[in-house]
Amino acid sequence: MTLQHKLEMQEVQHKLEMQEVQHKLEMQEVKHKSELKVKELEHQLSLQLSSQRVPFSKSETEKDIQRNLAVGIDKTSIRNRPGSGGKGNDYISSSDVIRNMNEIFGFNGWKDSYEEKEFTDNLSAGE
């Protein structure tokens, strides 16, 4: 094999490698554009859902809502964690609250808000 032939083969191999690199870059660009488009579509769908009232899932009338609220929370949703003085504190997870509210009022049929409250311990040392 002559030196000229070796150089030509190296040049062909180099061109093939460069084409492969170019192809990978093009594929990355296509993937990136696709991901951006998916995010844009998800955002548009989210905006559409948040601006539309979705019908109640279980109850459409105020009477039905009152009846469902009167039933209360499923007792298996109540959890307990240790508290001060050896007493436990019962609580309900936020995911259980959200699920129950969605079942009663429907998705996007309710909203929540939070207020900061200061609590004091009024128990005397002997109690």
Number of domains in the chain: 2
> Is residue 39 domain-resident?
yes
Please check whether residue 29 lies inside any domain of the structure. yes
| Average pLDDT of the segment spanning 75-100 | 85
Sorted by sequence, the CB contacts under 8 Å of residue 85 that are 6+ apart come out as 123
Per DSSP (E only), the strands in 1-127 are 78-82, 88-92
Task: Give the per-residue pLDDT at 62.
Answer: 74
Residue 6 sits in the same domain as residue 46? yes
Q: Residue 93 is part of which domain span?
A: 62-105
- In a domain, residue 124? The reply is no
Is the pLDDT reported for residue 127 higher than 50? no
In a domain, 14, yes or no: yes
pLDDT of residue 27: 92
Per DSSP, the chain holds a count of helices (H) and strands (E) of 3, 2
> What residue type is assigned to position 54 of the chain?
V
Indicate whether 3 and 46 sit together in one domain.
Answer: yes
> Same domain, yes or no, for 45 and 77?
no
Convert the pLDDT of each residue in 18-76 to its tens digit.
999 999 999 999 999 999 888 888 888 877 766 554 555 544 567 777 887 888 888 88
Same domain? 28 vs 70:
no
Whether residue 92 is contained in a domain is answered as yes
